[in-house]
């Protein structure tokens, strides 16, 4: 009897210590079942998710979150590792799937040599070529934010490895559609070498046409540029929008046939008030709708900056994804994900400490 008791106690202790050991040392965690904007968000290994300025591509019920892999200290604002990718089936629990696009660590002539700047990666799939296509904002190493280029990489598999193809300034030598009444100083300055392309997103419309939306003209003005059928270049059709409004961190999504934009003002890593807009054609006219955020700290987008709006059609859900940057230690930047609702056709983002989507 005593022997049995002792054995039971031993087993219990073993169980408790085993669980503590596994969760502390192996990083195993309980399943997540809600969003907690601004809190540390661990992946299924218990390690904080490292996918900043990210975007999501979904396929067959699985979501793939691509983002900037940040490291510790100021150097972590440059690309030391590359673009990371995580996958999830419920949007709460994310498996680390590794580095989708690695920086080059040996060839100092490579555009994506370690120490360059790779920001805001977005991935789309091209049905014609069967390739996954990644666009990102690229700054060549050692040149600050002056080169303002678009990087393009491709992969046969969604999680990679992605093969870096090229970088360029969009639409060299081509004038945009639209009126020429506004100031065009930077546009004309850059006409021959191509337009600056910094903060960016990609959008694929229902007809399969894809668009690159990027902060251009020294961040004064956004451009929407149509991509070629293989998504590997530009058709030459592009337009300026929000001219002179200094917007960045663009997101673009569609609801009930209308196009919506949510972005930010231009204050470096510091947060500012978000902006929103709506149009019935992607080419505009775009009507500005003001700051969609509501609640405490709404005038600073809850301390964050937009990066993507994810549409989950099965749940009629739109999720505003944003980054709370921490430039002194970039790896510690947090994610703010909040639901987007609509009032009189305007997007509204209300602060919530914690939330779940309705199944």
Among 158, 224, 225, 249, binds ligand DGJ (CB under 6 A): 249
305 phi, psi to nearest 5 deg: -135, 135
Is residue 139 near ligand DGJ by the rule CB under 6 A?
no
3-state SS track over the chain? CHHHHHHHHHHHHHHHHHHHHHHHHCCCCCCCCCECCCCCCECCCCCECCCEEEEEEEECCEEEEEEECCCCCHHHHCCCCEEEEEEECCCCCCEEEEEEEECECCCCCCCCECCCEEEEEEEEEECCCCEEEEEEEEECCCCCCCCCEEEEEEECCCCCCCEEEEEECCCCCCCCECCCCCCCHHHHHCCCCCCCCCCEEEEECCCCCEEEEEEECCCCEEEEEEECCCCCCEEEEEEEECCCCCCEEEEEEEECCEEEEEEECCCCCCCCCCEEEEECCCCCCCEECCCCEECCCHHHHHHCEEEEEEEEHHHCEEEEEEEECCCCCHHHCEEEEEEEEEECCEEEEECCCCECCCC
Q: Please tell me whether residue 67 binds ligand DGJ under the rule CB under 6 A.
A: no
Q: Is 53 in the site for ligand DGJ (CB under 6 A)?
A: yes
Ramachandran area for residue 20 (φ above 0: left; ψ -120 to 50: alpha; else beta): alpha
In whole angstroms, the minimum distance from the beta carbon of 54 to ligand DGJ comes to 11
Nearer to ligand DGJ, 190 or 248 (CB): 248
Query: Please, which residue, 203 or 226, has the CB nearer to ligand DGJ?
Result: 203
Q: Is the Cβ–Cβ distance between 30 and 331 less than 8 Å?
A: no
Q: What angle do CA 278, 282, 283 make, to 5 degrees?
A: 105
Degrees (nearest 5) of the Cα angle 187, 199, 268?
100
**Six token digits for residue 264:** 């930010």
Rounded to 5°, the CA angle 244-245-251 comes to 125
Q: Which of residues 205-224 bind ligand DGJ (CB under 6 A)?
A: none
Q: Does 100 bind ligand DGJ (CB under 6 A)?
A: no
> Should residue 248 be labelled a site residue for ligand DGJ when binding is judged by CB under 6 A?
yes
Q: Is the CB of 44 or the CB of 170 nearer to ligand DGJ?
A: 170
Considering beta carbons, is residue 269 or 342 the nearer one to ligand DGJ? Answer: 269
Smallest separation (angstroms) from ligand DGJ to the CB of 267? 8
For the bound state, the minimum distance from the C-beta of residue 219 to ligand DGJ, rounded and expressed in Å, comes to 9
Question: Which one of 186, 269, 283, 355 is in contact with ligand DGJ (CB under 6 A)?
Answer: 269
Q: Note whether 103 binds ligand DGJ by CB under 6 A.
A: no
Smallest distance, ligand DGJ to C-beta of residue 90, A? 28
Residue among 119 and 190 whose Cβ is closer to ligand DGJ: 119
CB 53, min distance to ligand DGJ, A: 5
> Which of 53/82 has CB closer to ligand DGJ?
53
Residues in 307-346 that interact with ligand DGJ by CB under 6 A = none
> Measured from the CB atom, is 190 or 199 closer to ligand DGJ?
199
Size of the site for ligand DGJ (CB under 6 A): 9
User: Shortest approach of ligand DGJ to residue 218 CB, angstroms?
Assistant: 13
Give the shortest CB-246-to-ligand DGJ separation in angstroms.
11
**Nearer CB in complex with ligand DGJ: 43/248:** 248
Q: How far is the CB of 135 from ligand DGJ (least distance, A)?
A: 14
Q: Which residue is nearest to ligand DGJ (CB)?
A: 268
- Binds ligand DGJ by CB under 6 A, chosen from 111, 190, 199, 217: 199
Q: Which of 43, 119, 190, 217 binds ligand DGJ (CB under 6 A)?
A: 119
Binds ligand DGJ (CB under 6 A): choice among 305, 333, 334, 338: 305
Query: Can you give the binding site for ligand DGJ, defined by CB under 6 A?
Result: 53, 119-120, 199, 248-249, 268-269, 305
């Amino acid at each position: 009897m005593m022997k049995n008791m002792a054995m039971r106690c031993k087993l219990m202790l073993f169980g408790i210590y085993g669980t503590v050991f596994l969760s502390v040392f192996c990083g195993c965690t309980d399943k997540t079942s809600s969003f907690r904007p601004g809190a540390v968000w661990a992946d299924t290994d218990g390690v904080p998710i490292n996918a900043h300025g990210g975007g999501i591509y979904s396929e067959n019920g699985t979501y793939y979150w691509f983002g900037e892999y940040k490291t510790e200290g100021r150097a972590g604002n440059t690309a030391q590792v590359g673009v990371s990718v995580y996958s999830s089936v419920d949007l709460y629990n994310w498996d680390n799937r590794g580095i989708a696009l690695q920086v080059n660590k040996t060839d100092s002539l490579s555009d994506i040599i370690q120490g360059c700047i790779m920001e805001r990666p977005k991935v789309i799939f091209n049905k014609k070529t069967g390739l996954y296509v990644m666009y990102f904002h690229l700054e060549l190493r050692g040149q600050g934010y002056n080169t303002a280029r678009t990087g393009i990489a491709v992969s046969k598999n969604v999680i990679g490895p992605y093969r870096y193809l090229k970088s360029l300034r969009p639409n060299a030598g081509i004038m945009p559609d639209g009126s020429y009444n506004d100031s065009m100083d930077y546009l004309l300055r850059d006409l021959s070498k191509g337009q600056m392309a910094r903060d960016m997103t990609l959008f694929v419309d229902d007809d399969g046409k894809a668009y690159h939306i990027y902060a251009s003209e020294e961040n004064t003005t956004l451009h929407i540029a149509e991509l070629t059928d293989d998504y590997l270049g530009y058709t030459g059709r592009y337009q300026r929008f929000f001219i002179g409004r200094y917007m960045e961190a663009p997101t673009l999504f569609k609801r009930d046939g209308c196009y919506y934009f949510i972005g930010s003002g231009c204050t470096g890593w510091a947060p500012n008030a978000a902006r929103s807009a709506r149009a019935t054609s992607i080419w505009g006219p775009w009507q500005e709708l003001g700051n969609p955020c509501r609640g405490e700290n709404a005038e600073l987008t809850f301390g964050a900056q937009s990066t993507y709006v994810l549409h989950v059609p099965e749940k009629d859900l739109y999720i505003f994804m944003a980054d709370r940057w921490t430039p002194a230690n970039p790896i510690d930047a947090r994610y703010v994900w909040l639901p987007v609702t609509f009032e009189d056709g305007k997007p509204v983002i209300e602060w919530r400490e914690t939330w779940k989507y309705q199944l």
